[in-house]
Amino acid sequence: MLKVVPAPDTLIGRRFDIAVAKMLGISRAKAADLIETDQARIAGRQGEHGKSATLQDGDLVEFDLVDEQRAPEPIAEDMPIVYEDEDIVVVDKPVGVAAHASVGWTGPTVLGSLLKRGVRITALGVPGRQGIVSRLDVGTSGLMLVCKSDLAYKEMRRQFSEHEVIKTYHALAQGNLKEDKATIEAPIGRAKVSDFRFCVTPGGKEAVTHWDVLERFGEATLAKINLETGRTHQIRVHFSSIGHPLVGDAMYGANPKLSAELGLERQWLHAMQLEFRHPRTHLNTVVTSHYPADLEHALDVLRARHAEPAEA
């Protein structure tokens, strides 16, 4: 079905593939595919420059997207709701559940599962991501807050953007961290080698990660982590950058042998606690979680391997 959209003012002067990616909320590579298959084009300029064309004031963008029949999104039946009132809902997101629907993802999502359970979510926010003010990676488990009311969305978005929410994670870093307490301050940007990887780079966005050691195993270290910023993959990238990738995190350099020995098929990273001011009552609110079975099992194996032998 053909849809014609005026070029947004904020995208005038940008490359066409970048503009399409931002307009549809998809990757630049996917946007380029749509342009090359004539599913996205600038009216009156078909084939003139393709994806490298520059969007101009007054241009009309035509979308003629092929309707891909998709199976109904599965529901995350085992996703606990750990806090809920008229304004917010906090879930304990299992691994393998995305925050919201995206191109190429066919598994369950937090937003879709809540809506299918009958939880009312505010309409504020990007379509398909409404109510979401902070996300977790598919491979990261733990607490995630979604807004039910318009009041909550506006206030919680402000609190997250101004770093007023205290987000506490637990992570298992490979190797023996030298310090008991430290801060990693290094800018993070998208890696040129992949649409999905990020890296420490001088041209990236400011990122600050604080950590405290909770337990040492020699070959790995359990740490409590607080973030001042919320960059994509921030904890994973920062720990990899200091030579201590998260155990199980193959994307950022984890030892596959150790991962297999601990039974891990994803990064050992869990969002343990959220502390914030309630958007309506302004009372300090703390929500906590506990380790899921796969992460607890990995710790049990490490503790058994490094337990001191009993005295005779």
Burial of 256 (0-12, 13-18, 19+ CB in 10 A): exposed
Strands 220-227 vs 208-216: parallel, antiparallel or unpaired? antiparallel
Active site residues: 137
Q: If residue 239 lies in a helix (H) or strand (E), which one and from where to where?
A: helix 234-241
Spatial contact of 222 and 213, defined as CB atoms under 8 Å apart: yes
- Which residues have a Cβ under 8 Å from the Cβ of 272 and sit 6 or more positions away? 142, 143, 168, 169, 170, 224, 288, 289
DSSP 309: P
Amino acid at 293: A
> SS3 for 254?
coil
| Secondary structure class of 245 (helix, strand, coil) | coil
Q: How many helices (H) and strands (E) does the chain have?
A: 7, 14
Which two structure tokens, joined as six digits, stand for 21? 């990616």
What is the distance between the alpha carbons of residues 140 and 34, in angstroms, rounded to a whole number? 30
